[in-house]
Structures are given as structure tokens and as C-alpha cells.
Amino acid sequence: MAVVDLLNSMDDSTYSRMVAAYVIGYKVTDTNAHIRPAQDSADLGVTICYNSVRDNSCAVPLLSDGNLVAINPVNWRTDATPATLVSPISPDTVTATLDTVSKLLIVSGYTPDNYMIPLIGRDGNYHKLEISLYCQVLQRNIALRARTFVQIEN
């Protein structure tokens, strides 16, 4: 939520130096000059957003209702092409598929069936795992976008 607020209040000069904004596990309900949805793994000045769930019934409205921006952080696609990932937090191989209608990332293959967010209590909503599940692909992506930015600036 804080990243969305920052993007909405950012001045143009600061935005011109922004490599990318990662809105992980929260919704983006409007787009503007400073909120441009990412289209691939290396575009700059964009917003990366995803919300991971076991299925659509596991969504938490506070985190995902009305979301307009989504990309699969495993294959960096905005369509429904599935992508496989060996989980760094479990012995599982998981598949992440973007639901292009709900803008949710549907994750299959994660074995803790009873994973539940404390306080929110929605079984199958992987909000608290958003960074740790994708940490390796996010690290590579941040490095790629930063290199791309530096090359353009030089």
C-alpha cells in the first residue's frame, strides 16, 4: 500500500529516475503517469504487481479487489502462460499462472494445504509468502532492471 501511495504522490523528476516499483501482494486500482504496468522483465519506469493465491476463492478483497495491474514474476508475462519454479521455502515445485481476469497469480503445487495468513485467516492466500516464494526471481529481476537503467543512463 505504501508503494502505491508513493507512486501517486511522486513528482515527475523523481519518477524519471525510477527503475521500477514493486507492489507485491497488494492491489493497484488505478493507473496514471507514474503507475505504468510492467509488460516484461526489463522495461523501466513500470509497476510490478502480483497477488498469489491457491485459487480465486482464496483472494482477500482488501489486498486484491479491483486490481488492474498484474505480471507473473516467474516468466514476466502478462498472459496466462504458466511458469514453473522450484520453491526456495519448501521442497515443492510450484506453477504460477496469471488469471488475466482477476489479476491473481494462481499457484499450484504448494503442499502446505492449511497455509493461512494470521489475522486475515484466508486459507490458500499466499500473501505472507509473496517475497520469500519468489525471492530468487525477484533478485535476478532487480539486477536486470538496474543494469538496463545504468546502460541507458551511460
Q: What is the mean pLDDT of residues 1-9?
A: 94
Answer whether 83's CB lies under 8 Å from 137's CB.
no
- The torsion defined by the Cα of 2, 110, 64 and 38, in degrees rounded to 10, comes to 70
CA atoms within 13 A on the CB side of 23: 30
Grade residue 85 by pLDDT with cuts at 50, 70 and 90. Answer: very high
CB 41 within 8 A of CB 72: no
pLDDT score at 128: 85
Report the distance separating Cα 125 and Cα 129, nearest Å.
9
A 10 A CB-CB count for 144 gives: 14
Model confidence at 116, pLDDT cuts 50, 70, 90, reads low
CB 105 within 8 A of CB 62: no
Residues in the chain: 154
Residue boundaries of the structural domains of the chain: 2-143
